[in-house]
Chains A and B, each alone.
Chain A
Amino acid sequence: MSIIDFFYSLTLGALFAIGVFQLLRRDLIKSVMGFGLLFTGVNLFLLASGAFRGEVAPYTTNYEAGAQTSDPIVQALILTAVVVSFGSYALLLAMVNIASRRYGTVDSDEITNLTK
């Protein structure tokens, strides 16, 4: 395991841990932040599955013969996943914004008490 792999997995684990912790907070805005962090973690996990196999960029003509290219599919997947997660992140923030005006609070417990 190279040094970059070690730090990469460490970052991934940290992102997941912080994300889950923030997601379980009572403050909805902090939960949304945690949601964003978690999705970043998953995107990095997706990147790890193909990024470190090759040394040079794919689909270029000026690499030496025998050099292994990195996997371009995971990068396309991440691009899509980033768009999807960014969309849900923005939608969530917009809904929390309206919720704060409609219910007068962003505390999830207080909002739940309103529904009863």
Chain B
Amino acid sequence: MENNFFILLTAFMPLFTALATLLLVTYNKAQRWVGLIGGLLTWASSLIVLGQVLDIGIQTYRMGGYVPPYGIVLVADNLSALFAVMGSTVMLAGLMYVLQSREKSVTYPTFLPLFLFMETGLLGAMLTGDLFTFFVFLELMVLSSVAMVAISDNPFGLEAAIKYVFISGMGSLFLLLGIAAMYTTFGTLNLADMAQQLATGDRPLLARSAAIMLMSSFLLKSAVFPFHFWQPDFHTTAPTAVSAMLSSVIVKVGIYMIIRTLTLLFTEEAAQLQQLLIVLGIVGIFFGSLAALRTYNGKRVLAYSTIAQVGFILVAIGWGTPVALAAAIVYAFNHAFIKSSLLMIMGLVASRSYEHSVDFVDIEGAGRMMPPLIGILWFLGSMSLAGVPPMNGFISKLGIVQSGVELGQWIPLGLAVSSGALTLLYMFRTWQRVFQQKKEVKLKILAYGDGMIAPTFLIAICILLGIYARPLVIIAEQTALQISDPQIYIDAVRLFSGG
């Protein structure tokens, strides 16, 4: 279909909601409810888009009615629609958490508009079919998340935010250089048009260097091993609702774009780039897991764990067969729910502790005095992250193992699986220190704290995706088949051809 209104709605509904919440800055309560309703509408429309994509095929929306490649086009194929559903679901849970959060920064009148601008950037970046529009959405996402970290309750949020703007600015710089190089070479910014010219014509050196520049900026945005150093500080000091989003869905934009560019644009260079991704992934898995083991802060453990989990996804992308790509997509989808729920649960603990901190010295044994639901949720979440059945983490690990066995890639597979044991180790270490240990000195615990609806919702999705995993796996397999042939995407966009 040429003009699917729901794609536009998915990408721009958060923007309209953000503007509405900006008008309501003096009415704190109304503002939050409007934000939640906007999140719900976005969620519903992203689900409708996914349903239509699975039923009818790839959907597009031509902005302003111009024919691509002359106009900007929003494209929802299986991959974009699936990632958009992931993003809008986790963001909806984030809005629920905001509604019940007791942090000071969350009550600032501009917090909610910024949160919704971040959602606009996230969904827009995943749905656009145009490289420069992707850059604009990405910058919107980065700048609004930076502003939210800078106003965090933690006094060092500002330091992490400044650090991140510099590093992310360098990433955007290379992205823009890559876009300029692609435009100079092909005279177009439309992804489908570029793919068509790359498939038929020769490959000038400038296009190859553009591949490297684009890839390095995507790796930086998803905090892969050599570009990871900003990530733990940035994700730990953010307000809980924001850090849950940053560590789960925001890092997936880079993953999404890596999959997209490797399968659509740089299909010939893919083999070399994928070798690199496997190595970076393995190093990232071990670095993240070992660093998480020697960290004494509940949120920091999870931030380092994100580096490790992104490594798993990269290894699967590096193998590159349809089975492995499906495994990578399932892994990315499941990890978003697990990680966001775990960070929210750490936020619950922090909001009930007297110092509002998650340093192990402050909250050692604090879990015993809190509502037992928190401990149960944390246990389920950490089981899921470690890949224990029947949670959804098991399904994603199973996909990785299956594709590795099929390819006979024994060394990377062995390393990846053995580091799964490390995941179990650091998650249970945290569980034991926070929720099991008894302390002689009487701890002071606040009787009230953040609400538990959002993490319960996410953990319920985790259990559901673990027990009833079949639909997700089937969709992921279809997606992997669809993106393995760039021609399907090119045909669906229906470029202007003469006349």
Which of A's residues lie within 8 Å of B, judged by CB? 23, 28, 31, 35, 38-39, 42, 45-46, 49-50, 73-74, 77, 80-81, 84, 87-88, 91-92, 95-96, 98-99, 102-103, 111-112, 114-115
Contact = CB atoms under 8 A, between A and B. Distances in A.
Contact of B165 (A49, A95, A102): A95
Contacts of B166: 23, 31, 35, 92
Given A39-B173, A49-B180, A95 B143 contact: no
B343 to A, nearest CB: 20
A24 to B, nearest CB: 10
A73 B169 CA distance: 23
Contacts of B474: none
B11 to A, nearest CB: 17
Contacts of A95: 150, 158, 161-162, 165
Contacts of B158: 95, 98-99, 102
Contacts of A92: 162, 165-166, 169
25 contacts: A23-B170, A42-B176, A42-B180, A46-B176, A46-B183, A50-B183, A73-B189, A77-B179, A81-B176, A87-B139, A87-B143, A88-B143, A88-B172, A91-B143, A91-B146, A91-B147, A92-B165, A92-B169, A95-B150, A95-B161, A95-B162, A95-B165, A98-B150, A103-B159, A115-B156
A91 B149 CA distance: 13
Interface in B160-206: 161-162, 165-166, 169-170, 172-173, 176-177, 179-181, 183-184, 189
From DSSP, what is the main secondary structure of chain A's interface residues? helix
A35 B159 CA distance: 17
Interface residues of B, number: 29
B155 A102 contact: yes
B405 interface: no
Contact of B177 (A35, A45, A91, A102): A45
B132 interface: yes
Nearest to A31: B166
B132 A84 contact: no
